[in-house]
Amino acid sequence: MQVMNAEWTTTEETAARKAFDIAYKREIGALIDSVRHRASSVNEIDDMWRLHDFLSIKRHEVDGRYDYQLSMLVFVFAGLVKDGWLSIDELEGLSTDKISKIAALASM
Amino acid sequence: MQVMNAEWTTTEETAARKAFDIAYKREIGALIDSVRHRASSVNEIDDMWRLHDFLSIKRHEVDGRYDYQLSMLVFVFAGLVKDGWLSIDELEGLSTDKISKIAALASM
C-alpha cells in the first residue's frame, strides 16, 4: 500500500507522536478505571480469573498496538480511530493524503 | 514414602475434605482481598501489569495446590500448614500417623 512507504516530515512526526500519546494516555486511563471497577466487583474465584483473562487480553492488545513504528503508523491510527481512542481531528498536522487513508481504513 | 499408599478410612476422608475446603475458602478469601486492595492502588500501566503477573502466579499456584487427590493429600496438607492456610488442629479426624507426617513435612 502506497502509504506504508510514505515519507514523514518532521512536522508530521511531531503531530503523530502527539496523537499517539493522546490515544495511549486515553486508552490506558480507561483501562485502569475498568480494572479498578472489575476488581471491586470480585466476589468469588471465577470473578478473579475473569479479571485475569481480561488483563491477559488487554496486555496483548496494548503491547501490540502501541509499538511506535512510522511504517505502521497509518494502520495503528486507523485502529485507534475505529476503536474510538482517537478522533480524526486529533491527527491535525499530518498530510491530507495520510488522513484520508486513515479515515478510509478506520471505516472498513 | 509409606504415607503415599496409606489407606484412608471414610472418617478420614470426611475430615480431609472438610480441612481441604477450610483452607481453600481461607486462601481464596485472602486472595480476593489482596486483589481488591492491589487493584485500588493501580495508578499507572506498570501497576496494572504487576497485578496481571500476580494473578498469573496465584492462578498457577491455586490450580496446582487444590487438585484433590487422596494419594497427594498428605503433601498438599503439609504445604497448606507450612504456608499458614491450615493449622494442624484442623486435621482432627486423620490418623495420628498421617498428622505426624504432615507436621514433619510442614516443618521442613
Lowest mean pLDDT among A3-17, B71-85, B87-101: A3-17
Q: Which residue of A has its CA nearest to B57?
A: A52
Q: H helices of B8-44, where?
A: 10-40
Q: What is the ipTM of this complex?
A: 0.83
What pTM, to 2 d.p., does this model score?
A: 0.84
Nearest CA to A51 among B55, B38, B61? B55
Q: Answer yes or no: are the C-beta atoms of A51 and A39 closer than 8 Å.
A: yes
Q: Which residue of B has its CA nearest to A50?
A: B55
Nearest Cα of chain B lies from the Cα of A69 at a distance, in angstroms, of 20
Q: Write down the pLDDT at residue B6.
A: 65
DSSP label at residue B91? G
- pLDDT tens digits for B31-68? 999 999 999 999 999 999 999 999 999 999 999 999 88
Q: Answer yes or no: are the C-beta atoms of A58 and A31 closer than 8 Å.
A: yes
